[in-house]
Protein backbone atom coordinates (compact mmCIF):
# COMPACT_ATOMS: atom_id res chain seq x y z
CA UNK A 1 0.00 0.00 0.00
CA UNK A 2 1.24 3.46 -0.86
CA UNK A 3 0.31 6.32 1.48
CA UNK A 4 -0.07 9.89 0.23
CA UNK A 5 0.11 12.31 3.16
CA UNK A 6 -2.36 15.19 3.49
CA UNK A 7 0.48 17.72 3.62
CA UNK A 8 3.16 17.19 0.95
CA UNK A 9 5.70 19.02 3.11
CA UNK A 10 5.45 16.14 5.61
CA UNK A 11 6.32 13.66 2.85
CA UNK A 12 9.09 15.40 0.91
CA UNK A 13 12.44 15.41 2.66
CA UNK A 14 15.21 15.01 0.06
CA UNK A 15 16.93 18.02 -1.51
CA UNK A 16 15.80 17.28 -5.07
CA UNK A 17 12.74 15.80 -6.73
CA UNK A 18 14.63 12.85 -8.27
CA UNK A 19 16.09 11.90 -4.88
CA UNK A 20 12.65 11.95 -3.27
CA UNK A 21 11.06 9.82 -6.00
CA UNK A 22 14.00 7.37 -6.03
CA UNK A 23 14.03 7.01 -2.22
CA UNK A 24 11.32 4.32 -2.11
CA UNK A 25 12.75 2.09 -4.82
CA UNK A 26 16.20 2.33 -3.19
CA UNK A 27 14.70 1.17 0.10
CA UNK A 28 13.00 -1.69 -1.71
CA UNK A 29 16.47 -2.95 -2.70
CA UNK A 30 16.78 -1.53 -6.20
CA UNK A 31 20.23 -0.46 -7.36
CA UNK A 32 20.87 3.28 -7.67
CA UNK A 33 20.65 3.00 -11.47
CA UNK A 34 17.37 1.06 -11.30
CA UNK A 35 15.90 3.49 -8.75
CA UNK A 36 16.84 6.51 -10.85
CA UNK A 37 15.35 4.91 -13.97
CA UNK A 38 12.12 4.11 -12.10
CA UNK A 39 11.98 7.65 -10.71
CA UNK A 40 12.52 9.22 -14.14
CA UNK A 41 9.91 6.97 -15.75
CA UNK A 42 7.40 7.72 -12.99
CA UNK A 43 7.94 11.48 -13.26
CA UNK A 44 7.50 11.28 -17.02
CA UNK A 45 4.28 9.27 -16.68
CA UNK A 46 2.83 12.04 -14.48
CA UNK A 47 3.90 14.84 -16.79
CA UNK A 48 6.63 15.93 -14.37
CA UNK A 49 9.69 15.23 -16.56
CA UNK A 50 12.10 18.14 -16.23
CA UNK A 51 11.54 18.47 -12.50
CA UNK A 52 14.29 16.01 -11.54
CA UNK A 53 16.79 18.60 -10.27
CA UNK A 54 14.23 21.02 -8.82
CA UNK A 55 14.48 21.70 -5.09
CA UNK A 56 11.42 20.16 -3.44
CA UNK A 57 10.74 22.93 -0.93
CA UNK A 58 10.62 25.49 -3.75
CA UNK A 59 7.80 23.76 -5.66
CA UNK A 60 4.22 25.02 -5.75
CA UNK A 61 1.55 23.15 -3.79
CA UNK A 62 0.26 21.41 -6.91
CA UNK A 63 3.77 20.45 -7.99
CA UNK A 64 4.51 19.08 -4.52
CA UNK A 65 1.33 16.99 -4.64
CA UNK A 66 2.33 15.45 -7.98
CA UNK A 67 5.87 14.75 -6.73
CA UNK A 68 4.57 13.07 -3.58
CA UNK A 69 2.27 10.97 -5.76
CA UNK A 70 5.27 10.07 -7.94
CA UNK A 71 7.24 9.02 -4.86
CA UNK A 72 4.41 6.67 -3.89
CA UNK A 73 3.84 5.30 -7.40
CA UNK A 74 7.56 4.63 -7.88
CA UNK A 75 7.19 1.80 -5.34
CA UNK A 76 4.46 0.19 -7.46
CA UNK A 77 1.84 -0.26 -4.73
CA UNK A 78 -1.30 -2.30 -5.40
CA UNK A 79 -3.43 0.07 -3.31
CA UNK A 80 -3.22 3.81 -2.68
CA UNK A 81 -4.28 5.36 0.62
CA UNK A 82 -4.89 9.06 -0.02
CA UNK A 83 -5.38 11.43 2.92
CA UNK A 84 -7.19 14.59 1.77
CA UNK A 85 -5.46 14.55 -1.63
CA UNK A 86 -7.16 17.73 -2.89
CA UNK A 87 -6.30 19.72 0.24
CA UNK A 88 -4.95 23.23 -0.47
CA UNK A 89 -4.86 22.79 -4.26
CA UNK A 90 -6.00 25.48 -6.65
CA UNK A 91 -8.56 24.48 -9.28
CA UNK A 92 -5.96 23.75 -11.97
CA UNK A 93 -3.83 21.53 -9.70
CA UNK A 94 -6.96 19.83 -8.33
CA UNK A 95 -8.16 18.99 -11.86
CA UNK A 96 -4.73 17.67 -12.83
CA UNK A 97 -4.63 15.43 -9.76
CA UNK A 98 -8.17 14.22 -10.39
CA UNK A 99 -7.40 13.33 -14.02
CA UNK A 100 -4.21 11.54 -12.96
CA UNK A 101 -5.97 9.51 -10.27
CA UNK A 102 -8.80 8.57 -12.64
CA UNK A 103 -6.24 6.99 -14.96
CA UNK A 104 -4.31 4.95 -12.39
CA UNK A 105 -4.86 1.20 -12.18
CA UNK A 106 -4.49 0.98 -8.39
CA UNK A 107 -7.36 0.52 -6.01
CA UNK A 108 -7.74 3.61 -3.81
CA UNK A 109 -8.89 4.35 -0.32
CA UNK A 110 -9.53 8.08 -0.12
CA UNK A 111 -10.11 10.03 3.07
CA UNK A 112 -11.64 13.37 2.14
CA UNK A 113 -14.12 16.08 3.05
CA UNK A 114 -14.24 17.14 -0.61
CA UNK A 115 -17.47 15.51 -1.79
CA UNK A 116 -17.21 16.86 -5.35
CA UNK A 117 -13.70 15.35 -5.66
CA UNK A 118 -14.95 12.01 -4.31
CA UNK A 119 -17.95 12.00 -6.64
CA UNK A 120 -15.57 11.91 -9.58
CA UNK A 121 -13.42 9.06 -8.22
CA UNK A 122 -15.21 6.87 -5.73
CA UNK A 123 -17.23 3.80 -6.60
CA UNK A 124 -18.27 3.30 -2.97
CA UNK A 125 -18.48 5.70 -0.04
CA UNK A 126 -18.52 5.00 3.65
CA UNK A 127 -18.75 7.45 6.54
CA UNK A 128 -17.59 7.28 10.11
CA UNK A 129 -20.75 7.52 12.18
CA UNK A 130 -21.04 6.72 15.88
CA UNK A 131 -17.59 5.05 15.83
CA UNK A 132 -18.57 2.72 12.97
CA UNK A 133 -18.12 2.72 9.22
CA UNK A 134 -21.49 2.83 7.51
CA UNK A 135 -22.53 2.99 3.88
CA UNK A 136 -22.80 6.61 2.76
CA UNK A 137 -26.43 6.25 1.63
CA UNK A 138 -27.36 4.60 4.95
CA UNK A 139 -25.76 7.46 6.90
CA UNK A 140 -27.66 10.03 4.81
CA UNK A 141 -30.95 8.25 5.49
CA UNK A 142 -30.25 8.23 9.21
CA UNK A 143 -29.45 11.97 9.22
CA UNK A 144 -32.59 12.93 7.28
CA UNK A 145 -34.93 10.66 9.29
Q: 36-66, pLDDT tens digit by residue? A: 999 999 999 999 999 999 999 999 999 999 9
> Does residue 24 sit within a domain?
yes
Which CATH number belongs to the domain containing residue 46 in this structure? 3.40.50.300
Tally of domains in the chain: 1
Chain-centroid distance of CA 41 in Å reads 17
Query: What is the reported pTM?
Result: 0.90
Q: 84-136, pLDDT tens digit by residue? A: 999 999 999 999 999 999 999 999 999 998 999 999 999 888 888 889 888 87
> Does residue 123 sit within a domain?
no
Identify the domain containing residue 75 by its residue range.
2-110
Distance CA 39, CA 37 (A): 5
Ramachandran sector of residue 5 (left: φ over 0; alpha: ψ -120 to 50; beta: rest)? beta
The DSSP element (H or E) to which 141 belongs, if any, is: helix 136-144
Distance CA 140, CA 127 (A): 9
> Does residue 25 sit within a domain?
yes
φ/ψ of 56, rounded to 5, equals -60, -40
Count other Cβ atoms within 10 Å, centred on residue 68: 24
> Does residue 50 sit within a domain?
yes
- What integer pLDDT is reported at residue 128 of this predicted model? 84
Amino acid sequence: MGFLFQDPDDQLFCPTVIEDVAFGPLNLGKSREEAMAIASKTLESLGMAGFEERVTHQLSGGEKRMITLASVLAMEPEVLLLDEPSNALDSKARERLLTTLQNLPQAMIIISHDDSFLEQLATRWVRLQDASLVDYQTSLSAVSA
